[in-house]
């Protein structure tokens, strides 16, 4: 794969196109499945999100992401954040304004595509880098990766071509990532029945059942690990224990409900708490203010 344009030229073309597509601040779910674009015009305090595994290319500005158990990572124009697991993270926008908005492109990762590429091109397996596995990696995007993102962005204005071309361009993006320092991370989470895949399956189960009680012993049995081994591996990959992961999912879901004007008791019971007092204690410990204060702050913004 080669491109006639330099990295800076490709980024500038993508900036111009995205600026014309997204004239107001916000995040747009494009017609291309799993492809999102964003524009931010204000520096923000950290806000919590629980995204699917993703790769995000920064076109302009600077963005900070803090994953559990780690320090904030700032990435900027021409860099990609690759996150292989779905885990709560704190996002803030640290360099942007109405005159120079922050612009970014995000694509959901598809580990079936990664697995297919590794089977189709076994030589990619030799590019795996040894070392301690993290849940994310920051890379400098090269011209080929940026050009593929640009084609995906251009495809948004060609709906009749999306069904055929989007999977091909998405596969190209995954291929480009496998040629970078993200290779080990992606290949570990694509291996059939490997330990990291099993951990991801257990995390998916927790996400789908966060309203119900979950127990480490049951989760460990689900992935065929001893409870102590499962606990240790889960925390190493996700930066949280399984119970902390479960609790945070509940509290983030409750926060969304409170901001939609649910009462404290309604939000607590909706996410699986049996005690509103316990819910309030956990909420204050997590967000440093009570659920009632969350409702009050939301009302003041209206």
- pLDDT: is 71 or 266 the higher one? 266
**DSSP letters along 105-121, please?**
EEEE--HHHHHHHHHH-
CB 170 within 8 A of CB 152: yes
pLDDT of residue 302: 45
Residue 54 to residue 86: CA distance in whole angstroms: 9
| pLDDT(3) > 90 | no
Q: What is the pLDDT of residues 170-202, one digit of tens each?
A: 999 999 999 998 988 888 887 665 788 888 889
Closest CA to 34 of 141, 109, 117, 112: 109
CA 274 to chain centre: 30
Percent of the chain residues past pLDDT 70, beyond the cut: 93
Mean pLDDT of 215-238: 92
Helix 195-208 / helix 242-258 crossing angle, nearest 10 deg: 40
Domains of the chain: residue spans and CATH = 7-188 (2.60.120.10), 193-302 (1.10.10.60)
CB 13 within 8 A of CB 5: yes
- pLDDT: is 69 or 279 the higher one? 279
pLDDT of residue 132: 44
Q: What is the pLDDT of residues 114-133, one digit of tens each?
A: 989 988 988 887 655 544 45
Burial of 131 (0-12, 13-18, 19+ CB in 10 A): exposed
Those residues with Cβ within 8 angstroms of residue 113's Cβ, 6 or more apart along the chain or in another chain? 170, 171, 174
pLDDT of residue 192: 64
Q: What is the pLDDT of residues 239-279, one digit of tens each?
A: 889 999 999 999 989 988 998 889 999 999 999 999 999 99
| Predicted confidence band of residue 220 (pLDDT cuts 50, 70, 90) | very high
pLDDT of residue 296: 85
**DSSP letters along 142-167, please?**
-HHHHHHHHHHHHHTT-HHHHHHHHH
């Amino acid at each position: 794969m080669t491109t006639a344009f330099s990295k800076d030229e490709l980024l500038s073309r993508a900036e111009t196109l995205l600026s014309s597509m997204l004239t107001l601040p916000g995040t747009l779910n494009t017609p291309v499945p799993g492809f999102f674009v964003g524009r931010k015009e204000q520096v923000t305090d950290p806000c919590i999100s629980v995204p699917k595994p993703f790769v995000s290319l920064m076109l302009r500005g600077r963005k900070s992401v803090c994953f559990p158990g780690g320090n904030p990572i700032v990435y900027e124009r021409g860099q990609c954040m690759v996150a292989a697991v779905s885990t709560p993270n704190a996002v803030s926008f640290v360099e942007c304004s109405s005159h120079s908005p922050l612009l970014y492109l995000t694509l959901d990762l598809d580990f079936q595509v990664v697995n297919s590429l590794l089977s189709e091109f076994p030589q990619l397996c030799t590019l795996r880098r040894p070392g301690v596995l993290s849940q994310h990696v920051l890379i400098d995007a090269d011209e080929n990766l940026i050009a593929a993102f640009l084609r995906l962005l251009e495809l948004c204005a060609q709906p009749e071509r999306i069904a055929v071309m989007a999977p091909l361009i998405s596969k190209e993006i995954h291929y480009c990532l496998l040629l970078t320092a993200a290779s080990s991370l992606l290949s570990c989470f694509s291996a059939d029945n490997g330990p990291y895949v099993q951990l991801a399956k257990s995390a998916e189960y927790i996400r789908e059942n966060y309203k119900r009680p979950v127990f480490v012993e049951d989760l460990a049995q689900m992935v065929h690990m001893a409870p102590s081994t499962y606990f240790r591996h889960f925390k190493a990959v996700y930066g949280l224990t399984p119970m902390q992961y479960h609790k945070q999912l509940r509290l983030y879901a409750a926060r969304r409900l409170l901001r939609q004007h649910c009462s404290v008791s309604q939000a607590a019971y909706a996410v699986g708490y049996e005690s509103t007092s316990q819910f309030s204690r956990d909420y204050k410990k997590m967000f440093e203010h009570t659920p009632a204060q969350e409702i009050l702050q939301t009302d003041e913004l209206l």
